[in-house]
Structure formats: structure tokens, C-alpha cells
Amino acid sequence: MSVWAILAAAGSGERLGADRPKAFVRLGELPLLAESLRRLDESEWIDAVVVAAPPGWEEPSVLLAEELGAGTVSAVVAGGATRAESVRLALADVPADAVVVLVHDAARPFVDEAVIERVLAPLSEGWDGVVPALPVSDTIKRVEGDRVVETLERDSLVAVQTPQAFLADVLRAAIAAGEGSDCASLVEAHGGRVRVVPGDPRLLKVTTPEDLELAASWL
């Protein structure tokens, strides 16, 4: 079974307030992108990686992969205006014989073997996609402006993370058919069966300078 990973790293990361795209903001000694790239490269489950780099940052991304000795990096493509577009562009570099595609956000540096194993396993049991998620601890309300219109039933809600795993054919068909930010929701909308498995609090998504500081303390 050939497993390809797409590393979505093309976001601008405006909320970090840095002078460069989020993937190239420092986490310790190296750009943020390095941590997830090294971890995917070292995973025994992943055969090859395609990176969706921030447009104009393809060459620094290739150099970073070389510096890390990340031999599984098969291509670095320029990402698009949205995450879904970046994934679509990267998917074009995944060969037709790939069986499984794992999609991961470079903004979540601490992807590990255990969660990769958890999202891959159900694909051989009839599921089309698998997402890691955490229970929500806060009460979630739907609002319109500053008015609460609904309080949602917390027990039926989860907060979804990446890496997310998909049967390659299902992901291709869903992406070709729809528009949306999240690959799993495209697969759901296309009639795919998506399973939830336990996520990991360490899969924190770096969004703000405080997140970056917390992530750096985990290195």
C-alpha cells in the first residue's frame, strides 16, 4: 500500500504578525515547516511527501528538505489562495497508483507515529477518510453578531486536527467535485464515510505568537 503525505504549508500566517509566511517563522533553530517535514520523512508509514509551499518560497523549501536530509520529499509545489487549493495543487503531484493520501498542516509541528497509525488503520476497514479529534471542553454557542442563537450539544461535538488520512481515489473525486476548506468535509459532502479517532493535545495548531512560544517550549 503506498502512502503519500501532503504537507500544507502555504498559509500566510497573518495572525502571527511576522515578516514572512508562517511555515518560515522560527521554531527553535529552524523554520516551523522543518519539524513536521522531518517527522513525516522519518515516519515508517509514509512513502513520499509533497509540500505545498508558500508561493515564492518553493526554493527555500527544497533547500530545507535537503538540509534535513528528507529523502522522501518528492515534490515542492507553490500553494494556492486557500488551503483546499493548496491541497488540490499538491495532489496533482501524487501519482495515480498512490493508495492513501495523508494531509497534514505544517502549522501543527508535533505530528507523531502514534497518530499517523491511528488515522491509517481504519482505511483498511472500509472507511474513506479518518480524522483525529479532541472532545471540546468549552460550551460552544452559535451566534449571529453578538447575539446567541443556539447552544450546541457538547457531547456530539469534537475539534478536528490533522493529519487526516483518505483513500486517494476518494480524496481526488471529492476535491474535483467541491469547494471547501477542509478535506474531510469535502469527502463527507461527496458521500464518503469519515471516521473520527482520538487526536492529541500536542497537535496544537500554531496560530498566534503565544502558540509559537508554547510550541517552542515543547521542542
What are the strands, taking DSSP E only, across 26-87? 26-27, 30-31, 48-53, 73-78
Other residues' Cβ atoms within 10 Å of the Cβ of residue 173: 17
Distance CA 96, CA 91 (A): 10
Element of type H or E holding 87: helix 83-91
Pick the binder of ligand C5P from 28, 80, 178, 180 (CB under 6 A): 80
Residue 122 found at the interface with ligand C5P (CB under 6 A): no
Whichever of 122 and 203 has its CB closer to ligand C5P, that residue is 203
3 state DSSP class of 58: helix
Pick the binder of ligand C5P from 41, 57, 73, 83 (CB under 6 A): 83
CA atoms within 13 A on the CB side of 192: 29
Whichever of 78 and 99 has its CB closer to ligand C5P, that residue is 78
Residue 82 found at the interface with ligand C5P (CB under 6 A): yes
Smallest distance from the beta carbon of 106 to ligand C5P, in angstroms?
4
Residue 86 found at the interface with ligand C5P (CB under 6 A): yes
Residue 140 found at the interface with ligand C5P (CB under 6 A): no
**CA max distance for the chain:** 52
Omega into 163 within 30° of 0, i.e. cis?
A: yes
Instruction: Count the residues of the shown chain that bind ligand C5P, applying the rule CB under 6 A.
Output: 18
Residue 72 found at the interface with ligand C5P (CB under 6 A): no
Smallest distance from the beta carbon of 155 to ligand C5P, in angstroms?
26
Contacts with ligand C5P by CB under 6 A lie at 8-11, 22-23, 52, 79-83, 86, 105-107, 205, 207
